[in-house]
């Protein structure tokens, strides 16, 4: 599933308990209360506009703690905010380390994320102060003490300062927080209330972040006389590229127009910039004439179930899935994408949009998009009498599928993700019996294809280690399967790509095999 997680990192040091004097207000507020109010407003915005956004709550002072793991239930985060406690002194580095840790553990290293650091602007004192951290951040080589920035995954860093802009202490600390965003080097914002510290000024500060970085994409999908209001999640980013002779700046239009349909076998697996879920939106009638007022009131009394509201996206998704086709879609001038049915499980599938590289020939074997036309436009077969001949210059020999991805190890993170997938299944043996051997053979074949034979011994050592770390309550079959798999990776037949590592038949699984 497409994800764009957000980590809210809240400062709970003693300085956040300092009182705030709000004119014409009888209630007493602390900076912590204002921070929680701003976060609650942000969560309300997400619940209305970004229901698929995964969000986690993390608090820190000298150490860090994840109060709420990644969830779409924002009420859980609000409940946890009401029960936060104050701890000792401030350590900004601890909060950033925690954010890096939870994202790396939960998601892969290519998932775009956002970290919102909420603090009062105090930078701490002593060895772990922000000033001292920035003086030594690029001089650390030890992995445990290495500075968490820049993040090892695509991530924007936003710093929300709960303090008056006229506070003299804040003026000296703002350059330090700006340095954090600069070191991360992936964008972000440093926000300070425009006016005196009040509930309204803090809310306005969070609103600026929402409008700039959490703006949903709402547009119209058209196909002939059919049209439907849709939302893309996550919202597509503008395309900016500096090429040899020109600079390309493109932005997805509000109108997505389907140009035609192509078989999946012909489109194969083109390189895509990004993928987005296509979600239908209720059509809003902009007419406000008096004659429609009574009919609208009657319609409000009739509550329609979500599953019975007609939608063009449902028709399109079902058609593409049954026919095995994709819809070539123009998303902007000289920029195209493909709509297709994508399954994240055997039972659930979604309508997905993959954005291709801007230009007239985003798919090399198809050629110029402007030259495509339906076969009915030709008075005689343009490719002779051979009806089985493909209408495109190149036809891939292999059968590609959007449900399966090939193994690509361009960066260490890709290899690490595949190894972690095998180990996750290994820890859930014997329940994940089939998945474990499927992923293990997939990893072994890829290692042999790349000539990476050392990976077989390394993987065998990891399985031996997992076997020794099994708890006493583990199923006996788990240890047998792990030992069998490790020995198979060390055997002579392990380097034969035609062979497969088969499960060990034991008294525990032979009846169900």
pLDDT number for residue 66: 96
For 270-304, how does the pLDDT look when each residue is reduced to its tens digit (9 = 90+)?
Answer: 888 888 999 998 765 434 444 444 444 444 443 34
317 and 356 share a domain? yes
Evaluate whether residue 297 is within a structural domain.
no
371 and 434 share a domain? no
Evaluate whether residue 505 is within a structural domain.
no
What would the mean pLDDT of 139-149 be, rounded to a whole number? 77
84 and 154 share a domain? yes
166 and 126 share a domain? yes
Evaluate whether residue 430 is within a structural domain.
yes
451 and 319 share a domain? no
CATH number at residue 326: 2.40.290.10
d(CA 447, CA 419): 11
Evaluate whether residue 301 is within a structural domain.
no
| H/E element, 213 | helix 199-213
pLDDT number for residue 345: 67
pLDDT number for residue 480: 92
37 and 119 share a domain? yes
Say whether pLDDT at 484 is over 60. yes
Evaluate whether residue 244 is within a structural domain.
no
56 and 69 share a domain? yes
233 and 382 share a domain? yes
pLDDT number for residue 245: 78
Reduced to 3 states (helix: H, G, I; strand: E, B; else coil), residue 198 is coil
Range of the domain at 47: 6-213
Evaluate whether residue 513 is within a structural domain.
no
Evaluate whether residue 166 is within a structural domain.
yes
Geometric angle at alpha carbon 360, from 355 and 364, rounded to 5°: 80
CATH number at residue 14: 3.40.50.410
Strands 255-263 and 247-250: unpaired
Q: Prior bond to 191 cis, omega within 30? A: no
339 and 442 share a domain? no
pLDDT number for residue 101: 93
156 and 278 share a domain? no
Query: Into how many domains does the chain fold?
Result: 3
Least confident of 24-33, 216-225, 290-299: 290-299
pLDDT number for residue 93: 94
Evaluate whether residue 511 is within a structural domain.
no
Last residue of a domain, one of 197, 213, 229: 213
Last residue of a domain, one of 406, 437, 463: 406
Token pair of 504, please? 């060990």
Token pair of 78, please? 């609000």
Region at 481 (left for phi over 0; alpha for psi -120 to 50; beta for the rest): alpha
Going by pLDDT thresholds of 50, 70 and 90, the confidence category of residue 27 is: confident
d(CA 66, CA 78): 14
pTM > 0.85? no
188 and 262 share a domain? no
378 and 441 share a domain? no
- Cβ atoms of 214 and 49 within 8 Å: the answer is yes
d(CA 473, CA 462): 20
d(CA 123, CA 95): 12
């Amino acid at each position: 599933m497409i994800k764009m997680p957000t980590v809210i990192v809240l400062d709970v040091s003693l300085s956040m308990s300092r009182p705030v004097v709000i004119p014409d207000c009888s209630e007493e507020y602390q900076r912590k209360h204002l921070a929680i109010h701003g976060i609650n407003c942000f969560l309300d915005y997400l619940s209305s506009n970004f229901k698929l956004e995964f969000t986690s709550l993390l608090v820190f002072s000298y150490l860090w703690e994840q109060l709420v793991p990644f969830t779409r239930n924002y009420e859980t985060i609000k409940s946890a905010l009401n029960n936060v406690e104050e701890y000792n002194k401030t350590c900004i580095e601890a909060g950033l380390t925690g954010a890096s840790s939870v994202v790396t553990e939960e998601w892969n290293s290519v998932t775009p994320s956002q970290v919102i650091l909420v603090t009062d602007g105090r930078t701490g004192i002593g060895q772990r102060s922000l000033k001292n951290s920035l003086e030594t951040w690029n001089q650390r080589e030890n992995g445990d003490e290495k500075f968490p920035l820049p993040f090892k995954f695509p991530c924007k860093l936003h710093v929300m300062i709960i303090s008056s802009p006229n506070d003299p202490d804040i003026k000296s600390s703002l350059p330090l927080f700006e340095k954090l965003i600069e070191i991360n080097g992936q964008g972000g914002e440093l926000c300070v209330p425009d006016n005196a510290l009040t509930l309204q000024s803090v809310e306005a500060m969070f609103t600026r972040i929402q409008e700039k970085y959490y703006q949903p994409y709402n547009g119209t999908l058209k196909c002939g006389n059919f049209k439907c209001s849709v939302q893309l999640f996550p919202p597509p980013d503008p395309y900016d590229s500096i090429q040899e002779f020109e600079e390309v700046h493109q932005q997805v239009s509000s109108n997505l127009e389907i140009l035609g349909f192509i078989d999946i076998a012909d489109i194969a697996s083109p390189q895509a910039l990004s993928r987005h879920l296509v979600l239908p939106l209720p059509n809003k009638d902009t007419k406000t004439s008096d004659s429609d007022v009574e009919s609208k009131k009657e319609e409000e009394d009739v509550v329609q179930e979500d599953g019975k509201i007609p939608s063009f996206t449902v028709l399109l998704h079902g058609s593409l899935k049954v026919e095995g086709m994709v819809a070539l879609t123009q998303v902007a001038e000289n920029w195209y994408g493909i709509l297709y049915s994508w399954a994240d499980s055997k039972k659930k599938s979604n309508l997905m949009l993959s954005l291709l590289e801007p230009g007239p020939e985003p798919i090399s074997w198809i050629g110029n998009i402007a030259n495509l036309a339906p076969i009915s436009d030709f008075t005689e077969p343009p490719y002779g009498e051979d009806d089985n001949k493909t209408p495109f210059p190149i036809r891939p020999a292999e059968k590609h599928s959007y449900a399966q991805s090939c193994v690509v190890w361009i960066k260490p993170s890709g290899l690490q993700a595949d190894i972690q997938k095998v180990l996750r299944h290994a820890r859930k043996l014997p329940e994940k019996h089939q998945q474990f051997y499927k992923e293990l053979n997939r990893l072994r074949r890829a290692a042999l294809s790349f000539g990476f034979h050392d990976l077989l011994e390394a993987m065998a050592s990891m399985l031996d280690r997992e076997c020794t770390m099994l708890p006493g309550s583990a199923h006996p079959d788990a240890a047998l399967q792990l030992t069998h798999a490790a020995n198979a990776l060390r055997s002579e037949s392990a380097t034969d790509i035609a062979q497969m590592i088969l499960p060990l038949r034991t008294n525990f699984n032979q009846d169900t095999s």
